[in-house]
Amino acid sequence: MEFERLVKRVDELREWCTKLLERMVSVPTVNPPGTNFEEFVNLVAEELRSMGIDASIHRVPREVVEKVHGSEIASYPRYVLIARVGSGSKVLQINGHYDVVPPGDGWTKDPFKPVIENGRLYGRGSVDMKGGIASALTALATLKDFEKELNGVFEVALVPDEEIGGESGTGYMLDAGLSRPSYAIIAEPSGVDQVWIGHRGAVWCYVEVRGRQAHGSTPWLGINAFRYGTELARRFFERYLPMLEQRRSRYAELYEDPNAAMPTANIGGEIRGGAKINIVPAFFSFSIDRRLIIEEKPEEVEEEIRRFVEENTKDFPPEVKVSVRFVGRMPPTFVDPKSELVRNLIDAAKNALGLEPLPRICTGGLDLWFYTTRGIPCITYGPGPRDTPHMADEYVELEQVYGVAKVFAILGIKLLS
């Protein structure tokens, strides 16, 4: 078909798209703990149904949330919304998470009263990632008018909890069989000029050191866990980090930041221990946020950290007990830049915007791995800018919102016709 018809229809929906984005940003879906999720999905479902688009809402079972995040978080209900146009066995899904981080300090505007200035819409969640959701919904509304030309399903899935790991959002949706797409795109803010074809992985842990408590006036009767914990932390800085710096990904040229092409470890993001100024501390711990390049596996990194701790505490007194507690794991993911999904998205961007997005590996983590570990090709493409998520005065470029909607609509025709 002539893609100009799709582009024209998206342009006709600009005002609808902007108004919907304003309404979505106005709902403070802050996570944690997970406020106003029901209001948000009902707002979107009502808007879609008024456009003649089928939208279903599925509540995430409380036990699923509680298992991952505990009872306090689970007391706030979570929902997955799935909206579709077209029919057939082939499914292209656009994924968007509607939870946002707390506003934090430093705002010059009300974070939940969106303001449009100089083509930018300001508000918490505007770029991360309700702008991407607006693009996806506008593409969905566009393809509703061309439904007879689809030989498959164009689907938008709105999920909670990406900001706290994704297991009770995208992970639950796929585990529960609410959707089984043939391809998926996550509309996170890559910016229109690049497409994320993968991301680094992560392993999170706490190194915990236990000694013996004593009165501060008689420290010789105790074993100071802080002393040995900080010594072990020093050894991580001096011995472990240089070891990581010797490794480099064979896909180095694809990482969006050259520094991300080697493994990294952030040590001491959290430290805990001690009870009182006049007590010898019997417990001390520090965190490690270990980031993986594409070639690494989380289970092998966990074993590497355990082995390092064991080898670097052999000279500690036998009364000092050291353990490693792993609390998070995300495998790295990578999709061949020459794959059908990547090639067609780049072509769609050329048709819609006259530019070719560069395939890149994201420095941070995304929900991509929930799909790729299940054998579903998945990439990330969404409106930016890339540098305002989680920041004060967060904003999204409205022209990019409309532009990405055009790309999604054209991609839908390319893959489903």
Residues of the chain with CATH 3.30.70.360: 201-330
In the chain, residues under CATH classification 3.40.630.10 are 3-199+332-416
HEC readout, 87-137: CCCCEEEEEEECCECCCCCCCCCCCCCCEEECCEEECCCHHHHHHHHHHHH
**pLDDT tens for each residue of 79-131:** 999 999 999 999 999 999 999 999 999 999 999 999 999 999 999 999 999 99
Task: Give DSSP secondary structure letters for 371-416.
Answer: HHTTT--EEE---S-TT-TTSTT-EEEHHHHHHHHHHHHHHHHHHH
Please give the DSSP secondary-structure letter assigned to residue 271.
E
Please report, rounded to a whole number, the percentage of residues in the chain having pLDDT higher than 90: 99
The confidence score (pLDDT) of residue 370 equals 97
Looking at residue 281, its pLDDT comes to 98
Q: Which residues contact 49 (CB under 8 A, 6 or more apart)?
A: 55
**pLDDT at 1 (0 to 100):** 58
- 3-199+332-416: CATH topology is Aminopeptidase (3.40.630)
pLDDT at 360: 98
Whether domain 201-330 has CATH 3.40.50.720: the reply is: no
Those residues of the chain that have pLDDT short of 50 are none
